[in-house]
Chains A and B, each alone.
Chain A
């Protein structure tokens, strides 16, 4: 479905969440069909946003949040951009969950061009919204317009990782300005890319550890049947052997390379075998330079 459909403020298909906001874009270009868009935005949706150059931890958590939300039937919103946003789209797409991607420039400008594949896959089950007319190239202020639209459209915005830079905080600033609900994922206090997210939490934003926390915020603690949906998305089998669980926890604690994981006197082959098994089970992913990173947060003890 390559056709671009134009939605003007006042058209029946125009998202109601935006219609009531002052300063919302007058025209939206929709890829994927406005009926689908309406269906996806019928229920409250969650935006996942953050730095375009996050750490592996941020990428995995963003993906795991999106996966969990998609499994619970919640639409995931995100900018069409590198970093946290792309990871969120990918996470949802892993289980064929629908996402809505906001493109900063015209509908014909798939940027970054490298992510054309992602764009096409998003459109299989989801939608893309472009905020500028066709043929309009990228301009720096388009990102700000997009950030505001994203924050306005979402019932809740979760910032996964962000440094104290204007770029990383675009969406968070927009959400605060529009007085939209904002939550953040904590990170190491020594990591630059968790600087702003930790600051947000210190300033009162709710803390998100996993999809369950997001659903709690979205629906309130007595949300419908969330427990079951969430567990299907987080395949941590209760019967995980102790030795694998131990390795998983230590990786999460920061011992993320075979070298750090192997104790002196221990057989390195054992460590490598455990890592491979965990990777096969989908509990670990490979990150920078051969390091391992958990694919989701720890379940409540």
Chain B
């Protein structure tokens, strides 16, 4: 007998529809799976057999052939278990065949017949809609993800027997309660994460962070140990605009595939802070099929590199492409794929290897150490960082200094600045000041005479390259937006210039 069920496999961040075809005939008992099944799928043989038996069904002692079509796509993951089991049951006439055409099946089977949720649930749900399948049967644990997709009937089922009931027209099991109340993303709710008001003093660095948030600029924080760089960096997400609904779904999908989703819609922008021992593959992905790098997990959010100089140079080099294009291409022998990776880069560094640059009495670094440290920080990465801010050692007020602002107030200003940008850049290919190239700068960041003169002076002094000029203009544009001004004042340029250099140790010392 022949039966067919519908399911999906994951390929990178995409899903591919899979038809599970089962043929049962007389012959020596056997159970063969063909169709480029990877080891986790081939192990389904044991799981499916035990689950079917323990659910009270019969396992046909005949020759069973399972084909996972199409035959040229690798099938991965234990999520195909359910479709396999149902196809076998249908082919041995223990389940009706008609409902199987309209239901997609996705889930891993436990040996006792219980259904387990798998990574990538949201992506599979979206795949169902694309493939025109009206219903999806899956485990309850991650069913909330699937429920986010419009136009799909989600039918959770706890066991194989429950699946049979659903397919027979019965009721589905209930969706699990959400772990936290879900606010509507995009709405004006409270900022997520630690508050900017926790930061005492450091007004200039806080201001720089607000500018970075408003324009989407990459930012480098420098300072001796203990000045609060990490603390400040962790507060960036709280002043970024909330995710729009499409963005939230995009982020949830990525995190669901990577197994990082807690079952609900993503709240707050992703904030990824990998340790500096991370490898290139860990950062951009590609180690094995389905491995998603940190840059992709940071899509629509922030990638924070603490102790920038401690990261391996190849890893930092690999960031070049995503910073440039907002995507990362993974090319392997058997497959290649493009992953979205549009994130804001935030980095922190010590001014010198021992961390105390400037405190002559405390700094133990030799010239060679300093030169090496500076070299690490230079190059294509620094080129793409528009803003640099130094955190100072606690002044006489220490922890008694007042905070510059709170997350609520800062986010308010950021949102207003973003609105201005959106309005100005409508119809353009970019939406943020940080992504303005030379052509767009000429169109949207015009300077009047005093401003031009200031920039020319800087260039004449030899300290400002063309790239540096563009950086200064982008930042100045954002500063003007934060101030509610369409016109860029010369003072905005001056402040932008002040926020651009001076993080390396003894930058004034000629190399």
Contacts and interface: CB of A to CB of B under 8 A. Distances in A.
B368 interface: yes
Interface string A42-57: 0000000000110110
A216 interface: no
B248 interface: no
Interface stretch (B76-84, B269-277, B493-501): B493-501
Interface string B13-55: 0000000000000000000000000000000000000000000
Given A258-B204, A259-B204, A273 B494 contact: yes
Given A59-B506, A293-B508, A287 B207 contact: no
A272 B390 contact: no
A260 interface: yes
A254 to B, nearest CB: 12
Contacts of B156: none
Given A257-B390, A280-B458, A293-B508, A273 B222 contact: no
Given A260-B395, A272-B498, A288-B357, A56 B508 contact: yes
Pairs of residues from A and B, 10 with the lowest C-beta to C-beta distance, nearest first: A290-B390, A288-B358, A273-B494, A286-B502, A289-B351, A272-B498, A276-B494, A276-B498, A290-B502, A285-B508
B488 to A, nearest CB: 13
B461 A282 contact: yes
B390 A289 contact: yes
A192 B509 contact: no
22 contacts: A53-B360, A60-B508, A87-B509, A87-B510, A192-B361, A268-B204, A268-B207, A269-B491, A269-B495, A270-B491, A273-B498, A276-B495, A276-B497, A276-B498, A280-B461, A285-B508, A288-B352, A288-B506, A289-B502, A290-B222, A290-B388, A290-B390
Nearest to A284: B508
Contact of B358 (A270, A282, A289): A289
B204 A114 contact: no
The prevalent SS among residues of B at the interface is: loop
Interface string B378-416: 000000000011101001000000100000000000000
B505 interface: yes
Contacts of B368: 112, 114
A272 B495 contact: yes
B449 interface: no
A282 B510 CA distance: 15
Nearest to B489: A273
A193 B207 CA distance: 35
Contact of B507 (A112, A268, A286): A286
B457 interface: yes
Q: Which range contains the number of B residues in contact with the other chain?
A: 35 or more
A115 to B, nearest CB: 8
B506 A259 contact: no
A278 B433 CA distance: 27
Contacts of B252: none
Contact of A287 (B202, B495, B508, B511): B508
A60 B207 CA distance: 29
Contacts of A257: 390, 392
Nearest to A257: B392
B204 to A, nearest CB: 5
Contacts of A274: 494
A118 B495 CA distance: 32
Contact of A259 (B392, B402, B508): B392
Interface of A: 52-53, 55-56, 59-60, 82, 86-87, 90, 112, 114-115, 117-118, 191-193, 257-260, 262, 264, 268-270, 272-277, 279-280, 282, 285-291, 293
Contacts of B494: 272-274, 276-277
> Secondary structure at chain A's binding surface: helix, strand, loop or mixed?
helix
A295 to B, nearest CB: 9
Given A258-B204, A268-B204, A280-B458, A287 B358 contact: yes
B360 A55 contact: yes
Nearest to B499: A272
Nearest to B350: A289
Given A288-B352, A290-B388, 17 more contacts: A53-B360, A82-B367, A86-B509, A258-B498, A259-B201, A259-B392, A259-B395, A268-B204, A268-B207, A272-B494, A272-B495, A277-B454, A282-B461, A287-B358, A289-B222, A289-B351, A289-B358
B476 to A, nearest CB: 11
A287 B506 contact: yes
Contacts of A87: 509-510
B237 interface: no
A56 B224 CA distance: 17
Nearest to A256: B358
A273 B491 contact: yes
Contacts of B357: 288-289
Contact of B367 (A55, A90, A112, A273): A112
A262 B203 CA distance: 9
Interface string B202-238: 1110010000000000000011100000000000000
Contact of A86 (B388, B402, B510): B510
Contacts of B502: 286-287, 289-291
A114 B367 contact: yes
A59 B495 contact: no
A208 B510 CA distance: 24
B503 interface: yes
A115 B207 CA distance: 37
A126 to B, nearest CB: 15
A114 B390 contact: no
B371 interface: yes
A59 B203 contact: no
A247 B358 CA distance: 20
Contacts of B203: 259, 262, 268
Given A87-B509, A192-B361, A269-B491, A260 B392 contact: yes
B367 to A, nearest CB: 5
